[in-house]
Amino acid sequence: MTLHRNTTINSYLLSLVEDYDIDILVIAEYQGCESELCKLLQRSKQKLKKNNTFGCERLNVWSNYYDIEPNVQGTYHSIQVIKKKLVLCCVHLFSDLHGDYRDDRLDEIEQIMNDINKIESKIESKKTIIIGDFNEMPYDKGCLSAKGFHGLPALRLDDKPTRTVRKKAYRKFYNPMWNLMGDFHYPPGTYFLNKAQLYAPMWYMLDQVIISKDIIPLFKKDSLNILTKCSYSDLMDLQGRPDKSISDHFPIICEIIDKGEL
């Protein structure tokens, strides 16, 4: 979840962790009292501990996994490897708030994908989850381009693992967030902004999870949700948009089945 520098956020976080049985919590822009959150989460029923993200100031990762090792820490991403098999790449990319940075983000994402590929080769696994505040829509360049995360709206296990463009094969990823766009489910996105621009969707799906093909059998589709409340408080304002006094983004949640072997 993206907190947008809220310093009084800990009660909401604790409530979310306990209400939704969170095993891994990824936070962007955390500005609260970390030592207090440490105590609260360690004493919670989920017993989350802070993971090593030293060097990546934009992200915090908390989990109750014992076997979780920090890997590459960059400006915009923090990679953790769980049980020596699962690559968890947490991202908080830069936004378009002050201009159009789609190309810049694609560049950054290429670099992140290069890190992921190298780690996967080293640990001999193709199980990767990319999660966080991408600061762009699922259909934007960084998320959809084959040179970026290549997060397709549909990917089945029996589909070809790559897509070839001008004789070069690009590995496919699955982005389930496409399914949550629009008003068939509420809310239509994780972020709301009424820009004074002609071309603007108003609701944005900036917070996303993108998974590799090997994670698909472990991914519980119906678990993917945008959270608008916790037992401590509603997270939305009277208009049904993210309550900015808490966070300007709604958090997302998903479940990956872990039967021990991942």
Partner 1 sequence: MDKKNFTFELLDKYTPDKVIENFLAQIKEATQGYVIGNIIPYDGPIQSYKKNNGLNVVTMTFKETMVDIQEKLGEQDDEKHRYEVFLTVEGLEHYKYRMMFVDYGAIAYPVTIVMNEALSEEYCGKRIDTFLIESMGELETMMETVINSKTMMVLIQNLINEFLRKKYQKAHSIQLDEN
**Residue 72 sits in the site that holds partner 1 (CB under 8 A):** yes
**Residue 111 sits in the site that holds partner 1 (CB under 8 A):** yes
Identity of the residue, 35 or 239, whose beta carbon is nearer to partner 1 in the bound complex: 35
**Residue 145 sits in the site that holds partner 1 (CB under 8 A):** no
**Residue 31 sits in the site that holds partner 1 (CB under 8 A):** no
Selected binder of partner 1 within 74, 153, 161, 201 (CB under 8 A): 74
**Residue 110 sits in the site that holds partner 1 (CB under 8 A):** yes
SS3 175: coil
Residue 226 bridge partners (DSSP): 252
Task: Please identify, among the stretches 91-99, 156-164, 194-202, 226-234, the one whose residues bind partner 1 according to the rule CB under 8 A.
Answer: 91-99
Report d(CA 106, CA 128) in Å as an integer. Answer: 19
* Six token digits for residue 135: 């600061």
Q: How far is CA 119 from CA 76, 199, 213, in A?
A: 17, 39, 16
Selected binder of partner 1 within 75, 121, 231, 233 (CB under 8 A): 75
Report d(CA 165, CA 89) in Å as an integer. Answer: 26
Q: Give the distance, in angstroms, between the CA of residue 247 and the centroid of all CA atoms in the same chain.
A: 16
**Residue 42 sits in the site that holds partner 1 (CB under 8 A):** no
Query: Whole-number minimum distance, CB 250 to partner 1, in Å?
Result: 25
Task: Please identify, among the stretches 94-102, 153-161, 162-170, 231-239, the one whose residues bind partner 1 according to the rule CB under 8 A.
Answer: 94-102
Selected binder of partner 1 within 35, 45, 66, 99 (CB under 8 A): 99
Instruction: Give the closest residue to 135 by CA, choosing from 96, 192, 189.
Output: 96
Selected binder of partner 1 within 107, 159, 214, 255 (CB under 8 A): 107
**Residue 217 sits in the site that holds partner 1 (CB under 8 A):** no
What's the burial of 103, exposed, middle or buried (CB within 10 Å: 0-12/13-18/19+)?
exposed
- Residue ranges in 112-131 that form contacts with partner 1 under rule CB under 8 A: 114-115, 118-119
Report whether the peptide linkage leading into residue 187 is cis, meaning its omega lies within 30 degrees of zero: yes
Dihedral sign (CA 153, 201, 26, 47): negative
Selected binder of partner 1 within 46, 63, 71, 190 (CB under 8 A): 71
**Residue 38 sits in the site that holds partner 1 (CB under 8 A):** no
Sequence letter at residue 252: I
Task: Please identify, among the stretches 49-57, 203-211, 232-240, 246-254, the one whose residues bind partner 1 according to the rule CB under 8 A.
Answer: 49-57
Which run of H or of E encompasses 78?
A: strand 77-82
* Six token digits for residue 120: 């996967």
Identity of the residue, 71 or 190, whose beta carbon is nearer to partner 1 in the bound complex: 71
Report d(CA 155, CA 64) in Å as an integer. Answer: 30
What is the binding site for partner 1 (CB under 8 A)?
52, 54-55, 57, 69-76, 81, 94, 98-99, 101, 103-104, 107-108, 110-111, 114-115, 118-119
